[in-house]
Amino acid sequence: MSNHKHKFSKATTTNHNQKKPFDPNRYGKLWGNIGFEIADEAANKQQGVQPVIGYLCIDNRKIGVTWSETNRIIEQLLDGQHRHNVAKRLDMLSAQSGTPRNIKFKQYDATGAVIATNMKN
């Protein structure tokens, strides 16, 4: 019976990039200015309206957000990351490739009448 108690010892920690100073601009100009502040309990309590649970702080701007709005923001950001990763894997991010932006379309019903289009008459 082997003893795995000391397999992952915390005695020596690894400091990555010890010789490089930390540069927050490497992660984007807003990286160091993104935060969240929790709102007071009494913030925006109205009948039939969700209360503001906190403030999303980006680049010295504070935006009051509800629980549902925070979920929506999280979903949109995760979707944006996923879409970027898929486009990168499909090599759709270069200027010479990708999906054309101005595709004209018409959608027809069973009788042949146009029910949707993005073309102007």
DSSP letters for 19-76: TSPP-GGGG-TTGGGEEEEEPPTTTT-BTTBPPP-EEEEETTEEEEE-HHHHHHHHHH
- Residue 13: inside a domain: no
| Domain span including residue 79 | 25-94
Number of independent structural domains in the chain: 1
- Residue 67: inside a domain: yes
- Residue 109: inside a domain: no
- Residue 37: inside a domain: yes
- CA separation for the pair 88, 97 (Å, rounded): 11
Rounded to two decimals, the pTM is: 0.60
Q: What is the pLDDT of residues 4-60, one digit of tens each?
A: 565 666 666 666 667 778 777 888 989 889 999 999 876 557 777 888 999 999 999
pLDDT score of 83 more than 80 = yes
Tokens in use for 85? 């990763």
- CA separation for the pair 55, 52 (Å, rounded): 8
- Tell me what pLDDT residue 10 has: 62
- Residue 36: inside a domain: yes
- Tell me what pLDDT residue 8 has: 61
- Tell me what pLDDT residue 36 has: 96
- Tell me what pLDDT residue 40 has: 85
- Residue 76: inside a domain: yes
- Residue 110: inside a domain: no
- Residue 81: inside a domain: yes
